[in-house]
């Protein structure tokens, strides 16, 4: 009974997420060999021939030439074990393609043989006898379907996991989640059994780092596992250290920061500013009576004024739609350190609040954060973050953007320093300001303009008054 397997557009590397079908190399009804190129696609990087990891008869194609498909979309289906007698050679088996395919194929990048050497064989009658395929030493697991009855072919595994490079031994003991032939080669060179490793990649995918960690662990006698005990990269790295679970707030922060680093191409610019006049203005405001105004509130007012001039930085990026979404309201997040970890409460509609209102809301959210009573609504929906790391006694930082926002303003400590003021050397209250921004939403000119305006308002608060 033939088994119909679906072959999906594989991950072509380089961070590419889609490809355009340029030319089909096979038709419905054609017999394809393992690793035979079946379609030519064009990506943003290059033209690529995509090999099929299954051997059998093509039963369906998905997408016409000129169609753009996302990675993971079905390309074609292959009936494995349904080869025609016409496809069987004189010796009683299918043509041997082992000389044209190494089997260790990087998904989406073809094999070593040119397409011209491959031929298509169209069946002329219903399948009666499955062809026996001479498989290379290392072939995709699903490609072993037309094997002797003693070895049953596994169910198809999603592309990106199935693998070029899965051996016949893997079929009998379960597929190994490895995509890269380089990972397999590294494991073989060091005598590692990949079945004994738990991958740290998505869905347990074994990465090169996992193999390297296991190799280092094997070189340390105390870290050598007993036979039959699975090795993990984490175990290799922390065999002798204290283990702290990434749960709760810390786990959520770890996930969010990791996503930010993966997805956002950030850049940072910074400038020193003379904050003497800003500090004097705050002292005068608080000396007049009434509620006290915090320095954070004044910096927040400066931020919202700067965002009004540079709305690119109050935005988010929708990569699915390939659009930059500029947001009309400023919901200002601010970093707050608590006993449970770093949190970023959000002040709603910060652009419409006075310095007094901002001071009150910062104080309320800070207190709620320290008591551990922040709700999900308090921690989501931010469009820009203000990070006052000067409270930790440091001057500068290159913070990680709070995903999915596009920028973060960092403020260092304000300390007396030598400064040239009105042409003379004087001791002034100096602060370092830094802006980390998503380079997809703007270039350095916009980021520099934003930061320069902030610095001008810090040095001359009257600049802010003129903009109100």
Integer CA distances (angstroms), 19 to 38, 66, 245, 321, 419, in order: 14, 10, 40, 16, 56
441: left (phi over 0), alpha (psi -120 to 50) or beta: alpha
Side-by-side strand order, sheet with 47-52: 47-52, 36-42, 18-24, 68-70
Torsion of CA 441, 446, 452, 456, to 10 degrees: -90
Give residue 355's pLDDT: 93
CB neighbourhood size of 271 (10 A): 15
CA pair distance 178, 195, nearest whole angstrom: 10
Cα gap 232→213, rounded to integer Å: 8
On whether the CB atoms of residues 30 and 39 are closer than 8 A, the answer is: no
**pLDDT, position 69:** 87
Mean pLDDT is lowest, of 69-83, 312-326, 451-465, for: 69-83
- DSSP for 108-159? TS--SS-GGG---B---S---SPPPP---SB--GGGGTTS-TTSPPPPP--T
On the 0-12 / 13-18 / 19+ scale of CB atoms within 10 A, 456 is middle
Tokens of 456: 């001008």
Q: Which residues touch 162 (CB under 8 Å, ≥6 apart)?
A: 53, 140, 141, 142, 156, 175
Contact 111, 140 (CB under 8 A): no
Instruction: Give 185's contacts (C-beta < 8 A, 6+ positions apart).
Output: none
Alpha helices in 264-318 (DSSP H): 276-287, 295-309
How is residue 294 annotated by DSSP?
Answer: P
For residue 404, whether the previous peptide bond is cis, meaning omega lies within 30 degrees of 0, is yes
> Given a cut of 60, is residue 82 above it in pLDDT?
no
Report the pLDDT averaged over residues 317-340. Answer: 92
Asked whether the predicted pLDDT for residue 458 surpasses 60, the reply is yes
What pLDDT digit, counting tens, does each position of 198-216 carry? 887 767 778 777 888 888 7
Q: What fold is seen in the domain 248-467?
A: Chloramphenicol Acetyltransferase (3.30.559)
Q: Report pLDDT digits (tens) over 351-366.
A: 999 999 999 999 999 9
Residue range 91-111: mean pLDDT, rounded: 37
Q: What percent of the chain has pLDDT over 70?
A: 70
Rg (CA), the chain: 30
Q: Mind listing the pLDDT tens digit for each residue in 17-67?
A: 778 888 999 999 999 998 899 998 876 545 678 899 989 999 999 988 888
Domain borders along the chain are 3-153, 176-243, 248-467
Task: Return the CATH architecture of domain 3-153.
Answer: Beta Barrel (2.40)
| 169-175 contacts at long range (C-beta below 8 A, 24 or more positions apart) | 170/141, 170/195, 171/141, 171/144, 171/147, 175/141
Do the Cβ atoms of 260 and 244 come closer than 8 Å?
no
pLDDT band at 464 (very low <50, low <70, confident <90, very high): confident
Q: Residue 232 — very low, low, confident or very high, per pLDDT cuts 50/70/90?
A: low
- What pLDDT does residue 110 have? 36
CA distances from 111 to 49, 50, 104, 149, 159 (A): 9, 9, 8, 29, 17
Supply 127's token pair.
């399948």
**DSSP state string for 397-461:** --PPP-TT-SEEEEE---EEEEEEETTEEEEEEEEEEEEEEETTT--HHHHHHHHHHHHHHHH-T
For 9-137, strand residue ranges (E) read 18-24, 31-32, 36-42, 47-52, 56-61, 68-70, 74-80
pTM given for the model: 0.52
Which pLDDT does position 466 carry in this prediction? Answer: 64
Q: Is 190 a catalytic residue?
A: no
Q: DSSP secondary-structure letter at 167?
A: B
Distance (Å, whole) CA 37 – CA 100: 11
């Amino acid at each position: 009974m033939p088994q119909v397997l679906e072959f999906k557009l594989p991950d072509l590397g380089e961070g590419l997420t889609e490809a355009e079908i340029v030319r089909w190399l096979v038709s419905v009804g054609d017999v394809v060999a393992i690793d035979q190129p079946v379609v030519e696609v064009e990506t943003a990087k290059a033209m690529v021939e995509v090999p099929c990891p299954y051997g059998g008869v093509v039963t369906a194609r998905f997408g016409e030439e000129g169609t753009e498909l996302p990675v993971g979309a079905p390309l074609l289906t292959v009936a494995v074990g349904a080869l025609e007698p016409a496809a069987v050679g004189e010796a009683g088996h299918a043509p041997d393609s082992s000389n044209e395919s190494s089997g260790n194929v990087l998904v989406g990048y073809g094999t070593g043989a040119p397409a011209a050497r491959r031929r298509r064989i169209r069946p002329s009658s219903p399948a009666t006898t499955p062809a026996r395929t001479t498989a290379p030493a290392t072939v995709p697991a699903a490609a072993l379907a037309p094997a002797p009855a003693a070895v049953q072919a596994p169910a198809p595994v999603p592309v990106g996991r199935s693998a070029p490079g899965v051996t016949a031994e893997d079929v009998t003991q379960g597929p190994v989640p490895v995509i890269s032939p380089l990972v397999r080669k590294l494991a073989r060179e060091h005598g590692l059994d990949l079945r004994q490793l738990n991958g740290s990649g998505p869905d347990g995918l074994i990465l090169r780092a996992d193999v390297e960690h296991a190799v280092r662990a094997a070189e340390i006698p105390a870290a050598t596992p007993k036979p039959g005990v699975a090795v993990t990269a984490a175990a290799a790295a922390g065999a002798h250290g204290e283990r702290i679970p990434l749960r709760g707030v810390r786990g959520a922060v770890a996930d969010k920061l990791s996503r930010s680093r993966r997805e956002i191409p950030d850049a940072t610019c910074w400038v020193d500013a003379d904050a003497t006049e800003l500090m004097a203005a705050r002292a005068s405001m608080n000396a007049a009576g009434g509620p006290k105004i915090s320095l954070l509130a004044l910096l927040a007012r400066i931020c919202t004024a700067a965002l009004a001039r540079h709305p690119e930085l109050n935005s988010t990026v929708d990569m699915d739609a390939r659009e930059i979404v500029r947001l009309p309201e400023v919901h200002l997040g601010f970093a707050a350190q608590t006993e449970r970890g770093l949190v970023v409460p959000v002040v709603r509609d910060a652009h419409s609040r006075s310095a007094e209102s901002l001071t009150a809301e910062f104080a309320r959210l800070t207190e709620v954060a320290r008591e551990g009573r922040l709700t999900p609504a308090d921690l989501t929906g931010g469009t820009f973050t203000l990070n006052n790391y000067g409270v930790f006694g440091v001057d500068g930082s290159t913070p990680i953007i709070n995903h999915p926002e596009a920028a973060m303003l960092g403020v260092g400590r304000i300390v007396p320093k030598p400064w040239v003021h009105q042409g003379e050397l004087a001791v002034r209250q100096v602060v370092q300001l830094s802006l980390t921004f998503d380079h997809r939403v703007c270039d350095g000119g916009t980021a520099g303009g934003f930061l320069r305006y902030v610095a001008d308002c810090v040095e001359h608060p009257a600049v802010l008054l003129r903009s109100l």
